[in-house]
Structure 1
């Protein structure tokens, strides 16, 4: 067949619709197949919002005049409607209008974020800032130049308090009580796999025997009581990172390198997925992840990089400020002080080791 007589048609595939939350997190949404709300929003227990679909008009299909004439009973001149270019022409809008639609979608996402921030601020000031104790999450109001600091000072009696209980508007991406296996589109299933009890006992024992004495960032009694309880409430991220550190100081295990890589992969998946609600655990985990490095030429997983991550989270929490006047529970205050000074010391040591500037 003459190539000039071939019909060039754009392939039109099935376009799946995704809810706004799945689209923002760039994960697969099954709402178009199984109906809304999608499975991800059900697991995360959040509202599933489906964006409104815009209707489009049909496209002009590029065909040769001879082939079109064969299908018509009366020959018609099609030269006026056959484009000279091989690409299909959109009749519904111009490139400027497509740009406007894209910018409108960005504005819509920004409006949702702004509404969430407004809700968080309203709930924060609606609670009793003077007497409510700090449980899991807290809000650091920053220095005197911060707008939040100024607003809090208008109703706060004690000007020395810098940490207040956070509002309840935070919803973790992963629900604490999962029904069945976790969704792979949120956090890989491998991250929720625990080592056998005998191996985890040996790794945790090695950690507290060889590391904890010079690196006391974990409340030993509290962690072991949670770990040994019949219904264990041990933070999963801390369990993986403590086992990872312990695997570097024990020689009784088979295939230790494979075990180290598996523990690091699971811990990093939980860390990147923001699984832990208590941000103090994020600082502790980042410090413990300094024990693992993905090779000598690595930049994004060595000790210097993880010290920087721990430093930024700690400064965001306000660990460098006095927590004495706050409503934080006493054992958390003690743990904060130990974490902060271990972070300061390791920041200096790691910077000297790698020949790079300090993170704080």
Structure 2
């Protein structure tokens, strides 16, 4: 076989210089698809009628990811781009990466502790955050951090890493502060984290105006922190600007247009995964359309995981889960998406059934296993799955007329609602819940999932559906409320507000149910084994 012009160059009548990708496709940031001709044959020229017929085929009206500045660069001789273009969309100052910033420590408006303390804060970050949200690779981060810390001044192109470094320290200090057993002065930790978060906030606009991979990493971590810690609207806004920044640097195509200092393609892929999961999680939590269009992203999935995938397996499975539900988030006019709610449901069940054994929640776990990282990931993954199933099916049960496109059996959705909500309530007894909720980035993920399940359980109690025993539903609600009342982390407004809402709903449920002393006692004391025996839910999709 010999190579001819690629499909895009042939269609646009451009001179294709090959090899794949050709310069035209590379500049347009599009896939370069080769056309081949068998050896021993000659490509026959198209007749005029054939040319007219090919030209008449309608082309998809999709905006090509090329701006006017990109086009101007193709018109100029290579190497003549010595001009400032920072005010033009898609441009930057030509000598920006060569500028030397002042000593980076002098730019931080508060006194940093000894390096040994900063290193311990960074270690705490990876203990509390990275197992749940993989934004940084620990080994490469430590290498960059050591290099950064040993240098007084850094190029302006690496200034964003200084902000990322401070944010990592701030998050480490925050999760040490939430743990009363941490061997540090908690007042110092409280003051340090506030100063560090304030500094990151003051640099956010600068990060956006000088976008690179670190900007995206800071946006994911800072946005998710606010989403989980009392300022969800702020976190949602930071998330939105982070998505646009990621698209601006080309991260949605698998690798930034400009080289990412100290990062390879795999690192960039994992950062996009974290952003994609965060965006879809937020869309579900807020009940708003997703800002990432899956059909317009080229970030690959990992087809085959190594046997020693370790922590990567959890993040891979979570990414697969949220990519399934992506078709449900804002795809109202996509003819290629799943045709019904039931289609998505079956894909979710297939994903859940295929989970490896070490990422499944075990019904009974000894105390000694409470700190097992894999168990924490299994709990977080199950809660994410059930939270998605609840949000997916509750509209079919509670508001079936609000969306006429829903095509599913309400009894099927009701079964899945009860199954997922009761399983979420039962996980409060799992020993892994203590370390997750005490000092972990996933603590408010737990609280949000419990709240979603609790509201649905209360709603089912208040409907006229006699399919399930109300006492069993109340027992699940009671478990969630009890867990909130003794929540390990004591610094979260989200927990107290969720508790207030669910307690009010519980009171309304109790008032609406005929008075029966034994019912109340049963709702408070039913064990998980009793629930498993009394609620027999047929597996869906059979």
TM-score normalised over the length of structure 2: 0.32
TM-score normalised over the length of structure 1: 0.46
User: Higher relative contact order at CA 8 Å, sep ≥6: structure 1 or structure 2?
Assistant: 1
